[in-house]
């Protein structure tokens, strides 16, 4: 396999250069369409004065949080920028130093794009939520749904446009060296998205859990009652977690998938392999526009069915256009590929068929996961109805049934993703072509990402719209019912997008796994190739130990994230209880809660807590790679991918099932609001909140960050290990020891923060 992955100089012909320019133009068009959707959203009516006042408080809280978060993350960005420059880079020529500089620069560009997408998602969502509520109040269901989905469409098109523009620019200017520079672009996007996902997830669920436990359970008041001091923080959290965090997450999924595709495409298809992975998502950008415009509900139609129909139609159009593009652009034999190695040229397959089938596998995978996740989390399907029925026997059975749904759905989803990965591998016929086929399946899945982002943003916007409506007291009757329905649809679309995001993570991680071996082989001679192949067998002790550690890191990461929510939520609970007790007149409406204090607690705690999971993700592969060697790091990545897939789907789907089971009861089933069944589902939803909105979604960027770290350190790991020609055991162990020390200190500091939850309110407030 090492000979197949040998670096070859790749340039771009004039026709391919023109194609890349066209892709860049399509990327710019996608950004312009995003601006059109944005103007349409902002042109909608923004409601009553009460609604505007509440929306303004949410806007100010969300902006303040993200500004503080970006200042915190800038420290990590500067450190990573410098460390990237120290790591080796490989090029077609002798310009390694120049490439390292550009790789670090594009690290900052990728992080900047990810931050911008996240901020755009938050900024527009905090202005769209009040407009959705106003549209439901004065115009009806279809206009309200259109505003919510166009908000998501804005973020979706910006995600597609900026991701594609960054990749196209790198390919245009760096040609055969583009994969090396794009490693920095993808790593920047993934690292920032992971931190935003963790920090935003802790914020939103600390506020949500605290609001539910005191407001719903203890005071028996509605979810978004203005008497609850945590309501504004809860709405802020929806925007910094579900909008900003998930938008950045899906952008990095897009960027990292392109990175993996171009790294392997260069090795497998030569010059065409640098261009075709750009053509596929460019087609997706065009079909995403169609998908957003097609989202128009029919009379009496469930909102989820409307969104699904638009998704399936846009996916079908993408499948047809990608097939045409493959047969029009690629040659019929490998020998006709420009710049193909001798070994690749001897392949007797048809590049057009391989590319077409691989892309179709990815598109079908997205559609299957949409249907599968929708079944396990939708209010109209049996699993959620069964969870709702268990509320009649108490909170314990609700929790047990939700866990069961999560476990079962994780198995089927993992099998579907595994089938897609193996199917693409078989289509490629083995070797680097098979790895490229897996990457192309990821590109096929990416053709739907514009609609996927729109679906995801639709959820928190609808949730916030209902919250603003309830807090203002200006929306009731049919309009309130419309917002309740859209909120339930949004819960399901959020779960669906999390499922598709983890599928993207697995495909990207598998492709990056191949890129990791590419990095290993590029610095080894033939004897080293054989040594690595024999050492990286799964039953080799070092590889098996690495696999176990990789799986364990996913569990540790999830535990840290959930524990962080528990600590921050504890501080919120004490503060909200204090306000109910110490501020006169809150319950009768004559006293005003101090919303800002809860927002401040969530902001401080989430920013303080996000460092530990982030450091674990970056330092753990460094510790394994330098401490145990290249083969152990290969096992580590395999373990992380396998356990991460199951854990992420389990957390996301169990949480989604609990949330929608609560919606079922609130709609009047099993006793309705205020009943014992309702209280039981509230407890289930509270447990599920950090599952589905903090730990579960954060595993998606976690997997890719760890794979990208492995790709980046691979040459250094080989150079210092027994496989390579040079060995430096002392330095290697010092680096590994430093990484372990960083993890240990971060975890110990995190554990000591448990004192924030105290038996006495006074102590808790001082600690917070």
> Is 593 domain-assigned?
yes
| 214-221 CB contacts, 8 Å cutoff, 24+ apart | 214/573, 214/576, 214/577, 214/580, 215/576, 216/679, 216/682, 217/679, 217/682, 217/683, 218/577, 219/580, 219/587, 220/674
What is the mean predicted confidence (pLDDT) over 366-370? 87
Quote the pLDDT of residue 727.
58
Residue 199 CB-half CA count within 13 A: 28
- Residue 5 confidence (pLDDT) above 50: no
Q: What is the pLDDT of residues 648-660, one digit of tens each?
A: 999 989 998 998 8
Share the mean pLDDT of the chain.
82
> Is 378 domain-assigned?
yes
What is the mean predicted confidence (pLDDT) over 171-186? 83
> Where do we find the tokens 């990457």?
439
State the pLDDT confidence band at 412, using cuts at 50, 70 and 90. Answer: very high
- Residue 726 confidence (pLDDT) above 60: no
- Residue 766 confidence (pLDDT) above 70: no
Round to whole Å and give the CA distance between 475 and 479.
6
Over pLDDT 90: what percentage of the chain? Answer: 18
What torsion do the CA atoms of 714, 718, 719, 725 make, to the nearest 10 degrees? Answer: -150
- Residue 1 confidence (pLDDT) above 60: no
Q: Say if residue 251 is exposed, middle or buried (CB neighbours under 10 Å; 0-12, 13-18, 19+).
A: buried
Q: What is the pLDDT of residues 734-763, one digit of tens each?
A: 989 999 999 999 888 877 765 444 444 444
> Is 206 domain-assigned?
yes
Q: Say if residue 684 is exposed, middle or buried (CB neighbours under 10 Å; 0-12, 13-18, 19+).
A: buried
> Is 568 domain-assigned?
yes
What is the mean predicted confidence (pLDDT) over 619-631? 89
- 162 φ, ψ (degrees, to nearest 5): -70, -40
> Where do we find the tokens 């290697």?
732
- Residue 320 confidence (pLDDT) above 90: yes
Quote the pLDDT of residue 401.
94
Quote the pLDDT of residue 538.
61
Quote the pLDDT of residue 26.
93
- Residue 35 confidence (pLDDT) above 90: yes
DSSP of 54-96, one letter per residue? Answer: HHHHHHHHHHHHHHHHHHHHHHHHHHHHHHHHHS----SSS-H
In sequence order, which residues have a C-beta less than 8 Å from that of residue 75 and are 6 or more positions away? none
> Is 721 domain-assigned?
yes
Quote the pLDDT of residue 762.
40
Contact 87, 81 (CB under 8 A): no
Query: Of 41-45, 240-244, 690-694, which gets the smallest average pLDDT?
Result: 240-244
More confidently predicted of 542 and 550? 550
Q: Is the alpha carbon torsion for 674, 679, 682, 684 positive or negative?
A: negative
Quote the pLDDT of residue 532.
54
What is the mean predicted confidence (pLDDT) over 308-325? 90
- For the entire predicted model, the pTM comes to 0.83
H or E element at residue 363? helix 351-377
Quote the pLDDT of residue 527.
42
- Residue 587 confidence (pLDDT) above 90: no
Quote the pLDDT of residue 354.
92
Going by C-alpha positions, the residue among 325, 200, 74, 221 that lies closest to residue 606 is: 200
Round to whole Å and give the CA distance between 524 and 2.
8
Specify which of 7-21, 323-337, 479-493 reaches the highest per-range mean pLDDT: 323-337
What is the mean predicted confidence (pLDDT) over 644-648? 92
- Residue 265 confidence (pLDDT) above 70: yes
What is the mean predicted confidence (pLDDT) over 390-396? 92
Round to whole Å and give the CA distance between 443 and 248.
18
- Residue 525 confidence (pLDDT) above 60: no
Quote the pLDDT of residue 757.
45
State the pLDDT confidence band at 526, using cuts at 50, 70 and 90. Answer: very low
Quote the pLDDT of residue 420.
92
State the pLDDT confidence band at 435, using cuts at 50, 70 and 90. Answer: confident
Query: Of 358-367, 413-422, 510-519, 533-542, which gets the smallest average pLDDT?
Result: 533-542
Quote the pLDDT of residue 461.
86
- Report the alpha-carbon angle 88-89-90, nearest 5: 130
> Is 6 domain-assigned?
no
Contact 258, 278 (CB under 8 A): yes
Query: Of 113-127, 276-290, 505-519, which gets the smallest average pLDDT?
Result: 505-519
- 333 φ, ψ (degrees, to nearest 5): -135, 155
Over pLDDT 70: what percentage of the chain? Answer: 90
Round to whole Å and give the CA distance between 176 and 156.
29
Quote the pLDDT of residue 765.
42
> Is 340 domain-assigned?
no
Contact 372, 416 (CB under 8 A): yes
Round to whole Å and give the CA distance between 82 and 75.
11
Round to whole Å and give the CA distance between 351 and 158.
31
Domain count, the chain: 1
Round to whole Å and give the CA distance between 607 and 203.
8
Q: What is the pLDDT of residues 589-607, one digit of tens each?
A: 778 888 888 888 888 888 8
Going by C-alpha positions, the residue among 39, 48, 278, 70 that lies closest to residue 161 is: 278
Query: Of 166-180, 369-383, 712-726, which gets the smallest average pLDDT?
Result: 712-726
Quote the pLDDT of residue 31.
92
Quote the pLDDT of residue 327.
93
Going by C-alpha positions, the residue among 441, 490, 492 that lies closest to residue 467 is: 490
Round to whole Å and give the CA distance between 434 and 198.
34
Contact 684, 676 (CB under 8 A): no
Quote the pLDDT of residue 764.
41
Q: What b-and-e string marks burial along 24-49, b requiring 16 or more CB atoms within 10 Å of the CB?
A: bebbebbbebbeebbeebeebebbbe
DSSP of 543-591, one letter per residue? Answer: HHHHHHHHHHHHHHHHHHHHHHHHHHHHHHHHHHHHHHHHSTTTTTTSS
Q: Chain-centre distance of CA 277, in angstroms?
A: 21
Round to whole Å and give the CA distance between 10 and 189.
26
Count the neighbouring beta carbons within 10 Å of the beta carbon of residue 588.
Answer: 8
Round to whole Å and give the CA distance between 635 and 627.
13
> Where do we find the tokens 């790091």?
633
Quote the pLDDT of residue 3.
39
Query: Of 2-16, 505-519, 549-563, which gets the smallest average pLDDT?
Result: 2-16
> Is 339 domain-assigned?
no
Q: What b-and-e string marks burial along 54-93, b requiring 16 or more CB atoms within 10 Å of the CB?
A: bbebbbebbbbbbeebbeebeebbeebbeebbebbbebbe
Q: Which two tokens stand for residue 145?
A: 């749904």
Domain that holds residue 386: 14-330+347-767
State the pLDDT confidence band at 521, using cuts at 50, 70 and 90. Answer: low
Q: Chain-centre distance of CA 424, in angstroms?
A: 23
Specify which of 189-203, 244-258, 314-328 reaches the highest per-range mean pLDDT: 314-328
What is the mean predicted confidence (pLDDT) over 690-706? 85
List Cα–Cα distances, 276 to 286, 421, 630, in angstroms: 16, 19, 31
DSSP of 152-194, one letter per residue? Answer: HHHHHHHHHHHHHHHHHHHHHHHGGGHHHHHHHHHHHHHHHHH
């Amino acid at each position: 396999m090492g000979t197949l992955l040998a670096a070859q100089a790749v340039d771009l012909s004039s026709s391919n250069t023109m194609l890349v320019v066209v892709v860049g133009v399509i990327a710019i068009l996608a950004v312009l369409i995003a601006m059109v959707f944005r103007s349409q959203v902002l042109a909608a009516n923004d409601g009553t004065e009460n609604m505007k006042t509440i929306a303004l408080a949410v806007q100010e809280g969300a902006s303040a949080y993200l500004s503080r978060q970006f200042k915190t993350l800038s420290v990590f960005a500067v450190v990573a920028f410098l460390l990237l420059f120290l790591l080796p880079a490989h090029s077609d020529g002798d310009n390694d130093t120049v490439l390292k500089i550009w790789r670090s620069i594009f690290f900052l560009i990728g992080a900047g794009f990810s931050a911008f997408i996240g901020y755009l998602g938050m900024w527009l969502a905090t202005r769209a939520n009040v407009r959705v509520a106003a549209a439901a109040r004065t115009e009806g269901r279809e206009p309200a749904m259109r505003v919510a989905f166009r908000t998501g469409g804005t973020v979706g098109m910006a995600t597609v446009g900026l991701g594609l523009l960054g990749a196209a620019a790198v390919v245009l200017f760096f040609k055969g060296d583009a994969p090396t520079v794009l490693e920095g672009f993808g790593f920047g996007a993934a690292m920032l998205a992971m931190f935003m996902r963790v920090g935003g997830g802790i914020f939103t669920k600390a506020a949500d859990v605290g609001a539910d436990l005191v407001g719903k359970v203890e005071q028996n008041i509605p979810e978004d009652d203005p008497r609850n001091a945590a309501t504004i923080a809860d709405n802020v959290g929806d925007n910094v977690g579900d909008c900003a965090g998930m938008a950045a997450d899906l952008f990095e999924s897009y960027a990292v998938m392109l990175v993996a595709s171009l790294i392997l495409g260069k090795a497998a298809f030569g010059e065409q392999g640098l261009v075709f992975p750009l053509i596929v998502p460019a087609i997706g950008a065009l079909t995403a526009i169609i998908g957003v415009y097609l989202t128009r509900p029919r009379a009496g139609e469930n909102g989820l069915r409307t969104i699904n129909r638009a998704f399936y139609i846009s996916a079908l159009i993408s499948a047809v256009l990608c097939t045409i593009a493959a047969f029009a652009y690629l040659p019929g034999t490998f020998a006709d590929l420009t710049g193909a190695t001798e070994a690749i040229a001897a392949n007797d397959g048809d590049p057009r068929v391989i590319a077409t089938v691989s892309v179709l596998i990815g598109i079908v995978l997205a559609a299957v996961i949409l249907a599968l996740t929708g079944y396990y989390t939708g209010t109209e399907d049996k699993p959620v109805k069964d969870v709702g029925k268990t509320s009649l026997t108490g909170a314990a059975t609700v929790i047990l049934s939700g866990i069961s749904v999560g476990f079962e759905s994780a198995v089927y989803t993992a099998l579907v993703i595994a089938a897609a990965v193996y199917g693409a591998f078989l289509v490629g016929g083995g070797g680097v072509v098979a790895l490229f086929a897996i990457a192309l399946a990821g590109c096929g899945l990416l053709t739907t990402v514009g609609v996927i982002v729109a679906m995801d943003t639709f959820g928190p916007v609808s949730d916030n719209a209902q919250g603003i409506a309830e807090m203002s007291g200006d929306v009731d009757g049919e309009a309130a019912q419309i917002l309740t329905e859209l909120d339930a649809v949004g819960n399901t679309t959020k779960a669906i997008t999390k499922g598709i995001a983890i599928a993207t993570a697995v495909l990207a991680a598998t492709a990056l796994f191949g890129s990791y071996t590419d990095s290993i082989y590029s610095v080894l001679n033939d004897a080293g190739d054989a040594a690595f192949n024999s050492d990286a067998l799964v039953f080799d002790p070092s590889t098996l130990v690495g696999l176990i550690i990789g799986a364990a890191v996913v569990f540790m990461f999830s535990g840290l994230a959930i524990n962080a929510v528990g600590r921050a939520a504890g501080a919120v609970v004490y503060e909200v209880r204090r306000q109910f007790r110490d501020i006169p007149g809150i319950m009768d409406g004559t006293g005003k809660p101090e919303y800002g204090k809860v927002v401040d607690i969530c902001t401080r705690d989430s920013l303080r807590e996000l460092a530990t999971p982030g450091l674990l993700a970056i330092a753990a592969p460094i510790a394994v790679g330098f401490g145990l060697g290249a083969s152990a790091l290969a096992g580590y990545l395999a373990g992380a991918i396998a356990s991460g897939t199951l854990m992420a789907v389990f957390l996301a789907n169990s949480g989604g099932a609990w949330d929608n089971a609560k919606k079922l009861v609130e709609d009047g089933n099993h006793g309705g609001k205020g009943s014992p069944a309702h209280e039981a589902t509230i407890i289930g939803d509270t447990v599920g909140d950090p599952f589905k909105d903090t730990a579960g979604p954060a595993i998606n960027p976690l997997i890719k960050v760890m794979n990208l770290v492995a790709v980046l350190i691979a040459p250094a790991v080989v150079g210092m290990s027994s496989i390579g020609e040079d060995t430096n055991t002392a330095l290697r162990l010092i680096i590994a020891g430093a990484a372990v020390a960083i993890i240990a200190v971060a975890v110990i500091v995190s554990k000591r923060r448990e004192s924030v939850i105290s038996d006495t309110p006074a102590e808790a407030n001082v600690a917070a």
